C-alpha cells in the first residue's frame, strides 16, 4: 500500500495520500512518493510539450515537402 508504484497507479491527480502521519516511517514514505509523483508529473508535462512541438514541426515539414 505504501510503495510508490501503487500510489502512482491509483493517483489521477498525482498527489500522494499520507497513509498515517502519526507513524514517522510511513510519513517519510508518503512524502517521498509525493515528491516522486510531482517530479513524474513535471517530466511527463515537459515530454508532452516537446512531443506537441515536434508534431507541429512534422506537420509543417510535411506540408512544405508536398508543395
Q: What is the pLDDT of residues 4-17, one digit of tens each?
A: 555 555 554 444 45
Cα three-residue angle 11-50-6, rounded to 5 degrees = 15
Mean pLDDT to the nearest integer, 57-66: 69
For 33-46, how does the pLDDT look when each residue is reduced to its tens digit (9 = 90+)? 777 777 777 777 77
What's the first-to-final CA gap in the chain, in angstroms? 57
- pTM equals 0.36
Amino acid at each position: 500500500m505504501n510503495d510508490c508504484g501503487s500510489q502512482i497507479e491509483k493517483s489521477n491527480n498525482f498527489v500522494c495520500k499520507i497513509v498515517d502521519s502519526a507513524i514517522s516511517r510511513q510519513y517519510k514514505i508518503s512524502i517521498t512518493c509525493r515528491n516522486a509523483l510531482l517530479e513524474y508529473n513535471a517530466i511527463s508535462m515537459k515530454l508532452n510539450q516537446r512531443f506537441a512541438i515536434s508534431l507541429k514541426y512534422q506537420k509543417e515539414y510535411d506540408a512544405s515537402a508536398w508543395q
